[in-house]
């Protein structure tokens, strides 16, 4: 799928070099259709440890392993239920992570000591080419959390990655360019270790999309014992205090669909036409509110059962922070 890219995406040569750096144990931040990831060879413990250092993330938080296609899923996972294969065939490459029973290759330093592993095939062309080239060098998968410092807003452009973690990277690490992320919020995470799928994190692949493939879906996030960092109180949070679904007051920054007018004295940050555009630009908008020095950011989330569920999830977590 061709998409316009400004600035232009990384060249094949720079992607090849990045794959070589990964294989040599360095870090590579790369674009995906959801958000930018901070990648390391998922089988290299020292490299993966550096991800935690750069992010400032607690060591018991598991990482998603990115692979190039469903064909290599059985390198990482075992006892994959049929419904999970159906989901993978339908939504990969794409913004969906499946939590599955791990194989030995998924070591404790990837899974946070859990017996499960999160796997995703991203659809961004730079990500896929990186994964393919890394595989040709003998690398079975790239571990990559979002390329932000722990608890901060995920980056959706190479520049935001640079601003967020550039100071923590070494000269051997690199950042691949891929324009701004198509979707803009993190992947849907579905636990597929039981008779029916359990939604752990909402995203662009919605419950009703999953229900069109699998019969009964459980939404219960609460009683699940798995560790998902998105379940922590404060997360995805800008410095500004986030206020949800209120009329903005003078002096506040404001994000809402274009159908909402901007009251006098309120600083409009984004006016997207629809929920998809809101998702695509939300994190950049939060960053902008901080860069402009606003203390308060009002965000209006549209009603809806599509991407709106994920939008409300992320913004609610941002709002919990202060
Ligand atoms: O869209 C995305 O998923 C992005 C891009 C880069 O792929 N990645 C991402 O990674 O959001 P991260 O680490 O920021 O969030 C991944 C979430 C974490 O909350 C983690 O706890 C959860 O996935 N996770 C990973 N492996 C898991 C597992 N085995 N069981 C339960 N949760 C898992
Ligand atoms: Mg994250």
pLDDT tens sequence across 118-162 = 999 999 999 999 999 999 999 999 999 999 999 899 999 999 999
Place of tokens 């923590």: 168
Domain extent, residue 102, equals 12-223
250 within a domain of the structure (yes/no): yes
Please indicate, yes or no, whether residues 274 and 177 belong to a single structural domain of this protein: no
Q: Kindly state whether residue 7 falls inside one of the protein's structural domains.
A: no
Residue 96 maps to a domain: yes
CATH code of 171's domain: 3.90.870.10
Is the per-residue pLDDT at 4 higher than 60? Answer: no
**pLDDT value of residue 2:** 46
CA torsion, ordered 69, 74, 75, 78, to nearest 10 deg: 140
Are the CB atoms for 64 and 120 separated by under 8 Å?
Answer: yes
Q: Mean pLDDT, the chain, as a whole number?
A: 92
Tokens of 54: 């750069």
- Summarised one tens digit per residue, pLDDT across range 274-320 is 999 999 999 999 999 999 999 999 999 999 999 999 999 999 999 98
The response to whether residue 145 sits with its C-beta less than 6 Å from ligand 1 reads: yes
Residue 159 in domain? yes
Number of domains the chain is built from: 2
The answer as to whether 4 is a domain residue is no
Q: Which of 134, 118, 111, 103 is nearest to 45 (CA)?
A: 111
The pLDDT of residue 235 is: 66
Strands 37-41 and 28-30: antiparallel
Residue 273 is part of a domain; what is its CATH number? 3.40.50.11030
Q: What is the pLDDT of residue 9?
A: 78
94 lines ligand 1 (CB under 6 A): no
Ligand 1 near 101 CB (within 6 A): no
Atom of ligand 1 nearest to the CA of 37: 6
32 lines ligand 1 (CB under 6 A): yes
Does residue 90 form part of some domain?
Answer: yes
Which among 223, 249, 269 is the end of a domain? 223
85/14 Cα distance (integer angstroms): 33
For ligand 1, the distance from its centroid to the CA atom of residue 266, given in whole angstroms, is: 35
Same domain, 108 and 176: yes
Over residues 105-125, the pLDDT tens digits come to 999 999 999 999 999 999 999
Identify whether residues 137 and 266 lie together within a single domain.
no
The residue among 1 and 175 whose pLDDT is bigger is 175
Residues 218 and 251 in one domain: no
Q: Does 234 fall in a domain?
A: no
Note the ligand closest to the C-alpha atom of 106: 1
Residue 3 has pLDDT above 70, yes or no: no
pLDDT score for 8: 67
């Amino acid at each position: 799928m061709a998409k316009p890219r400004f600035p232009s995406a990384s060249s094949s040569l720079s992607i090849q070099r990045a794959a070589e750096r990964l294989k040599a144990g360095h870090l590579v931040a790369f674009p995906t259709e959801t958000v930018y990831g901070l990648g390391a060879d998922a089988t290299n413990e020292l490299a993966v440890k550096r991800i935690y250092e750069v992010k400032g993330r607690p060591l018991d938080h598991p990482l998603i392993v990115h692979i190039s296609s469903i064909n290599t899923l059985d390198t990482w996972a075992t006892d994959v239920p049929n419904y999970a294969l159906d989901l993978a065939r339908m939504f990969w490459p794409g913004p969906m992570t499946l939590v599955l029973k791990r194989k030995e290759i998924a070591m404790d330093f990837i899974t946070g000591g859990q017996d499960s592993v999160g796997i995703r095939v991203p659809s961004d062309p730079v990500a896929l080419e990186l994964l393919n080239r890394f595989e040709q060098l003998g690398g079975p998968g790239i571990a990559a959390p979002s390329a932000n410092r722990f608890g901060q807003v995920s980056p959706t452009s190479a520049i935001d990655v640079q601003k967020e973690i550039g100071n923590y990277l070494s000269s051997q690490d690199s950042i691949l360019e891929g324009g701004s992320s198509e979707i803009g919020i993190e992947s849907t995470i579905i636990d597929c270790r039981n008779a029916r799928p359990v939604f752990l994190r909402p995203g662009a692949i919605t419950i009703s999309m999953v229900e069109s493939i699998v019969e009964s879906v459980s939404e219960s996030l609460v009683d699940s014992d798995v560790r998902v960092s998105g379940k922590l109180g404060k997360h995805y949070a800008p410095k500004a205090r986030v206020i949800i679904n209120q009329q903005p007051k003078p002096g506040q920054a404001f994000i809402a669909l274009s159908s909402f007018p901007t009251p006098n004295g309120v600083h409009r940050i984004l006016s997207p036409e629809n929920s998809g555009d809101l998702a695509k630009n939300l994190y950049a908008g939060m960053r902008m509110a901080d860069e402009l020095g606003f203390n308060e950011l009002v965000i209006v989330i549209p009603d809806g059962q599509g991407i709106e569920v994920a939008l409300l999830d992320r913004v609610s977590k941002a709002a919990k922070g202060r």
